[in-house]
Amino acid sequence: MSEERRKPTIRFKGFTGDWEWRKLGDVVDVRSGKDYKHLQEGSIPVYGTGGYMLSVNEALSYAEDAVGIGRKGSIDKPYILKAPFWTVDTLFYTVPRDANDLNFIFDVFQNIDWKKKDESTGVPSLSKTAINEIDILTPKTHEQKRIGAFFAQIDTLITLHQRKYDKLVCIKKAMLEKMFPKNGSCFPEIRFAGFTDAWEKRKVGDVVTDVERSIIIKDYEVYQLVTVKRRNEGLVSRGFLRGKDILVKNYYEIRKGDFIISKRQVIHGGNGLVPESLDKSVVSNEYLIVCGNNAVSSKFWALMSKRVEMYQMFFLSSYGVDIEKMVFNVEDWKKRIVTIPSIMEQDRIIEYFGTLGHLITLEQRALDKLKTLKKAFLEKMFV
């Protein structure tokens, strides 16, 4: 940082003076965590680099709040520690010196590139010396408190939306279990009013249809290639490529509503429904394209595929000695049994999960917006 710039780009009204260069060790007292195994169970939280671990009957800090920063392992994820607390030996706890503001210090920590301070060649590690010698610019206490309070409000909003998001995701996961039969039953635990008939057992091959829309890749045509993300993240575009830049020429066209399965990643969640934005894109022959028929809709099939039982079925129909390279046996999978309701009940279930999915998406967007806003303010309100 040059000497010329000692003021942030954005500042609260009334603050005009230059910020002061200081060593981080002059601003905070860096203290070491300790082993807790000799302690008894209690009400004092113990924290590690990943957060809360358990509770014990003694504290390292009874009255002083601090910012935790990893000594070893996750060294770039600081967080605030409210007294009383205990920290393990892989987590430093840094107590503000004099009148320095805790929330402001936390914001400073979030602006430091901790990975550049890594002193190891193996597991990432920090030392007290490395932390203490970091040069930072700080304003007077009153301005620190204004900045700290501002970012604390943003963090509170992020936490609230994160909790809402996590709650909705948990509800979705629970309802995917309760609204579908399990353990060989033909009746789900929870149903919408008016539906009482038993669900029907059918072979997979009877309720989904293979689709092969083969296309000839032409050198100077432009194609949008699609891949399936692992861990249930759905389909994503790999970008637009000219035919001459596509190495493999055996591709299929996909349409909105198709269900795509990665033959090599299906046991890791490699499947998804084609959205309108990816209509008429293309996938390689590493993917299986199926769609529903008069027995099951593609949207309902997509819901079923997110359930634990379906992943077990995918696994049982795969082969290979390396779990990362297992290949999907399509014909074996088609012989397996699934349990499905009437089309009318399918539509009602799809509507419910569609609404739930929309709420999850709204919370995710709110979270992303707040995190982006916080990042921008951290860049503009610090020097």
Q: Which domains does the chain have, with CATH numbers?
A: 20-139 (3.90.220.20), 140-198+342-383 (1.10.287), 200-340 (3.90.220.20)
pLDDT for 209 equals 87
Which pair of structure tokens corresponds to residue 56? 């014990």
Which pair of structure tokens corresponds to residue 96? 């503000």
Q: Do 180 and 307 form a contact (C-beta atoms < 8 A)?
A: yes
Give 229: exposed, middle or buried? Use CB within 10 Å, 0-12, 13-18, 19+.
middle
pLDDT for 2 equals 44
Residues of the chain with pLDDT under 50: 1-2
Q: Which H, E and C letters describe the chain, residue by residue? A: CCCCCCCCCCCCCCCCCCCEEEEHHHHEEEECCCCCCCCCEEEEEEEECCEEEEEECCCCECCCCEEEEECECCCCCCEEECCCEEECCCEEEEEECCCCCHHHHHHHHHCCCHHHHCCCCCCCECCHHHHHCCEEEECCHHHHHHHHHHHHHHHHHHHHHHHHHHHHHHHHHHHHHHCCCCCCCCCCCCCCCCCCCCCEEEEHHHHEEECCCEEECCCCCEEEEEEECCCCCCEEEEEEEEHHHCCCCEEEECCCCCEEEECCCHHHCCEEECCHHHCCCEEECCEEEEEECCCCCHHHHHHHCCCHHHHHHHHHCEECCCHHHCEECHHHHHCCEEEECCHHHHHHHHHHHHHHHHHHHHHHHHHHHHHHHHHHHHHHCCC
Q: Do 73 and 14 form a contact (C-beta atoms < 8 A)?
A: no
The overall longest dimension of the chain from CA atoms, in Å, is: 77
Which pair of structure tokens corresponds to residue 335? 């012989």
Q: How many CB atoms lie within 10 A of CB 44?
A: 20
pTM of the complete model: 0.83
What is the rounded CA–CA span in Å between residue 94 and residue 68? Answer: 6
User: pLDDT of 345-373, one tens digit each?
Assistant: 999 999 999 999 999 999 999 999 999 99
Which pair of structure tokens corresponds to residue 356? 């739930």
What is the rounded CA–CA span in Å between residue 331 and residue 334? Answer: 5
User: pLDDT of 8-38, one tens digit each?
Assistant: 999 999 999 999 999 999 999 999 999 999 9
Pairing, β 222-228 against β 51-56: unpaired
Q: How many residues does the chain have?
A: 383
